[in-house]
Structure 1
Amino acid sequence: MTLHDEIGEARVRERLLVEARTWINTPWHHRARVKGAGVDCAQFVNAVYHTVLGTDLIEIDYPPDHFLHRSEEQLVTQLERQANCVPLALPGDVVVYRFGRAMSHAGLVVDWPRIIHAYRLEGGVVFGNGTGGNLAERERQFYRWKGF
């Protein structure tokens, strides 16, 4: 029996967002995953899902500028192992954005277009507008954990 079976999808989504909020103001740091000390966007998503569901969604090795030099969709390939691409986002779903040559930025949907993400340009984990600012015109996709 999974957590989803025990408490239902809405409660799992609520727990994901409660955990995500505990990361607010954690500074941005490439490949880090320490609440309050440093995290990047992929590791933020991993940390939240791991805490609530016991699973990492993204298992890739990536240099800080990978999106400038590589076209391989490593982030999407990893997400698709445990998540399905969906047309509309629900709270707790993952949103990914194209930066440079590949989908290379991830965050969690609070209530679309409101998101929580670890964003270098804003200094760390923040609430953001998923359709505004530097994210406004970027290609994006939504992913939903296959356990829902």
Structure 2
Amino acid sequence: MSADRVIASARSWLGTPYHDQASLRGVGCDCLGLARGVWRDVIGDEPFPMPPYSRDWGETGAHEVIAESARGVMPEVLPAEAGPGDMLVFRMMPRAISKHIGILTRDGTFVHAYERLGVIEEAMSESWRRRIAFAFLFQKNEETEGLQP
């Protein structure tokens, strides 16, 4: 998948208002909804229905639900190897599960949906960089295609 195509799709969501568990460009989305919308734009139908989820960044648990689900459909890379167009999963609080998603651009920035701000593009600061827990190539994982997490 072309990084430029992924980035262009992500940027086409800029200005979309924040709306928990939504995924409709220009109307509303959360960070996962943004990633789902970019998937639909550049890859096609979503691989499985999205179950309800909590937006609590402090949630703890034994399972990295977002990362485990992403592994079922996207190739994982080390966060240090993430490049333009890749999806990043952030751990927002120590000891919490990772629950925030953004898409890396070529300009030292990333696109993400943030409560009260909607979809924005901002600098990949050291503070954000430290929170990256997982990274995935924005393409189908051919080895696991058809499997549901």
Aligned residues: 134
Distance in structure 2 (CA, Å) of the matches to 1:92 and 1:137: 19
Shift of 1:130: 2.6
Shift of 1:108: 0.6
Cα contact 2:59–2:97 (8 A) shared by 1: no
Query: Mapping of 1:59-70 within 5 angstroms?
Result: 59-65=50-56, 67-70=57-60
Matching residue within 121, 124, 137 for 2:118: 124
Amino acid at match of 1:61: P
How big is the alpha-carbon RMSD for the aligned residues of Structure 1 and Structure 2? 2.2
Matching residue within 67, 71, 84 for 1:80: 71
Distance in structure 1 (CA, Å) of the matches to 2:132 and 2:67: 13
Distance in structure 2 (CA, Å) of the matches to 1:68 and 1:105: 11
Distance in structure 2 (CA, Å) of the matches to 1:34 and 1:99: 24
Shift of 1:35: 1.2
Query: Mapping of 1:1-148 within 5 angstroms?
Result: 9=1, 12-56=2-46, 59-65=50-56, 67-71=57-61, 72-87=63-78, 88-100=81-93, 101-111=96-106, 113-120=108-115, 123-133=117-127, 135-144=128-137, 145=139, 146=141
- Structure 1 unaligned runs (5+)? 1-8
Cα contact 2:67–2:134 (8 A) shared by 1: no
Which residue of the partner structure matches residue 147 of structure 2?
A: none
Distance in structure 1 (CA, Å) of the matches to 2:99 and 2:118: 16
Distance in structure 2 (CA, Å) of the matches to 1:85 and 1:130: 20
Report sequence identity in percent: 25
Comparing both structures, which one devotes a greater share of its residues to strand?
1
Cα contact 2:35–2:102 (8 A) shared by 1: yes
Shift of 1:132: 4.1
Distance in structure 1 (CA, Å) of the matches to 2:85 and 2:45: 14
